[in-house]
Amino acid sequence: MSDPFDDIDLPRLVAEGREGDNDAPLSIGELSHRLKRMVEGEFGHVRLRGEISGYKRAASGHVYLALKDADAVIDGVMWRGAADRLPFRPQDGIEVVATGKLTIYPGRSKYQIVIERMELAGEGALMALFERLKAQLKAEGLFDGEKKRLPFAPQVIGVVTSPTGAVIRDILHRLADRFPTRVLVWPVKVQGDGAAAEVAAAVRGFDAMPLDGPVPRPDLVIVARGGGSIEDLWAFNEEPVVRAVAACRIPIISAVGHETDTTLCDFAADVRAPTPTAAAEMAVPVRADLSHHVATLALRTERCARRYHERGNERLQALVRVLPRRDALLGPQRQKADDLAARLDRGLERRVTVARGVLDRAAGALRPAVLERKLDGLRHRLEGASKLLDAVNPDNLLQRGYVRVGAKVTGKVIASAADARAAGALTLQFGDGTVDARVERGSGKAYADDKPEQPGLF
């Protein structure tokens, strides 16, 4: 009798091969690689339409995002080379059509699309991206800054456009008709891959030119392109172009497309022109109109000058008629001058007469007799003074027997016995000479040198 539990597949602690089972178990990596080959073989080329979500560009330049619709989500990756060729800047919420191939990332066992090309899903998506960029840049203040005034007659105009299109020919032709001006053309691509980068570089290049460099710096820049669809004009909606135009220190005219076309470059520029031809008309005045205006101003100036001259002549003639005659004006002054001349003559005569009287009186005072009397009086006074001087002269007393005693050393006159005793050595001045003497100490007597002792009475 068989065991009823033999047909039951009971769990085992250790995996063992089963009867009739010759497949070995697969590793996770082997399964992932089989699925990868199967998916890539089946979906080697796909086009997906969806909305961008979680857009991120890594430091390596690769782009990672997700595409979603109402039912599902799929991860996507775009390598750096393909991302650099994108004609627009992807943003979350933009509906696109992505072309590439499905693959599985073995590290996470997730399937994803490797995007080789990505386009906007119709003009509606393009307009949505346009409005999103416009709102973002407006919030940053790029469109609301103070606009620069255009120069009245720029000497150099820089034009950023394609060198082979009809736009540059229209601009040059219009400038030549209105006001011939030097034009510097910076050739760029205006459509396709790399167009936005070239336009932005051209605007920055004009702005960076030095004022005194070998190539003159433009006074005005025109960014121009002919008409087209919004896709054709999209390069002028790119953020690098808008930022370069807004930051340019040179006044800029945006002339992109036709009158009904609008780009973000128009909002950032200082002036928007409906067409490139209109931009040339706005850039310069009409030389013929200026010449006519200058001639009109010159004629008006001449008329004004002539009118002032005529009015001045009329006022002068009117004043001449009311002015008095010359004789009437000068007659009183002439009479006054004659009167003053006569008074001057009389005054001079009177002064001369007075001066002559003074001179006569002075001459009378200088007669010889008068001078002699004065000299005699002065002579008598001098003789009296001389006699008085002789009378008081002490030397004259010596002739009468008096002696003048003086100190021998100092020569001072001795007037008292105390001074004589103090001096010791004396000099006795007689009328006929001097004698030296000395005073004996204690006795108060004076003795002449080399002579008999004599009493010293003074």
Does the pTM surpass 0.75? The reply is: no
* 19 — pLDDT class (breaks 50, 70, 90): low
Share of the chain above pLDDT 90, in %: 23
- Whether 155 has a pLDDT exceeding 50, the answer reads yes
pLDDT, tens digit, for every residue of 414-425? 878 787 787 778
Helix (H), strand (E) at residue 443: none
- For the residues 154-160, what does the mean pLDDT come to? 94
How confident is the model at residue 102, as a pLDDT? 86
Q: What are the CA-CA distances from residue 445 to residues 142, 415, 438, 441 (Å)?
A: 137, 16, 8, 8
* 15 — pLDDT class (breaks 50, 70, 90): low
Query: Can you say whether the dihedral through the CA atoms of 78, 83, 86, 91 is positive or negative?
Result: positive
Q: Report yes or no: 233 and 225 within 8 Å, Cβ to Cβ.
A: yes
Query: Can you say whether the dihedral through the CA atoms of 131, 134, 140, 141 is positive or negative?
Result: negative
- The phi, psi pair for 453, rounded to 5°, reads -65, 135
Out of 17-31, 300-314, 352-366, pick the least confident.
17-31
How far apart are alpha carbons 192 and 202 in whole angstroms? 16
- For the residues 407-434, what does the mean pLDDT come to? 80
Looking at the chain, how many residues does it have?
A: 458
How confident is the model at residue 16, as a pLDDT? 61
How confident is the model at residue 2, as a pLDDT? 52
pLDDT, tens digit, for every residue of 259-311? 888 889 999 999 999 999 999 999 999 888 888 888 999 999 999 999 989 89
How far apart are alpha carbons 378 and 271 in whole angstroms? 119
| Nearest CA among 160, 126, 347 for reference residue 250 | 160
How confident is the model at residue 38, as a pLDDT? 78
* Three-state secondary structure call for residue 1: coil
* 458 — pLDDT class (breaks 50, 70, 90): very low
Residue with the larger pLDDT of the pair 456 and 91: 91
Average predicted confidence (pLDDT) for the chain? 82
- Whether 137 has a pLDDT exceeding 70, the answer reads yes
How far apart are alpha carbons 381 and 289 in whole angstroms? 118
* 29 — pLDDT class (breaks 50, 70, 90): confident
- Whether 127 has a pLDDT exceeding 60, the answer reads yes
How confident is the model at residue 223, as a pLDDT? 94
Out of 23-32, 113-122, 341-350, pick the least confident.
23-32
How many other C-beta atoms can be found within 10 angstroms of the C-beta atom of residue 7? 7
How confident is the model at residue 443, as a pLDDT? 54
How far apart are alpha carbons 90 and 129 in whole angstroms? 9
How confident is the model at residue 247, as a pLDDT? 92
Residue with the larger pLDDT of the pair 207 and 401: 207
Q: Report yes or no: 205 and 187 within 8 Å, Cβ to Cβ.
A: no
Residue with the larger pLDDT of the pair 206 and 231: 206
Q: What are the CA-CA distances from residue 235 to residues 83, 130, 137, 263 (Å)?
A: 16, 11, 16, 9
How many other C-beta atoms can be found within 10 angstroms of the C-beta atom of residue 131? 10
How confident is the model at residue 14, as a pLDDT? 59
Residues 6+ apart with CB under 8 A from 222: 157, 158, 159, 160, 161, 171, 252, 253, 255, 273, 276, 279, 280, 283
Mean pLDDT comparison of 24-33, 362-371, 401-410, highest-scoring range: 401-410
Q: Report yes or no: 293 and 287 within 8 Å, Cβ to Cβ.
A: no
* 456 — pLDDT class (breaks 50, 70, 90): very low
Residue with the larger pLDDT of the pair 366 and 176: 176
How confident is the model at residue 17, as a pLDDT? 57
Q: How far apart are the first and last CA of the chain?
A: 204
Out of 253-257, 274-278, 408-412, pick the least confident.
408-412
**Both tokens of residue 164?**
């082979």
- Whether 453 has a pLDDT exceeding 50, the answer reads no
pLDDT, tens digit, for every residue of 37-77? 777 777 778 888 888 888 888 888 899 988 887 778 888 89
Q: Report yes or no: 265 and 222 within 8 Å, Cβ to Cβ.
A: no
**Both tokens of residue 181?**
């001006």
- For the residues 177-182, what does the mean pLDDT come to? 90
Please give the single-letter amino acid code of residue 380.
Answer: H
Q: Report yes or no: 210 and 217 within 8 Å, Cβ to Cβ.
A: yes
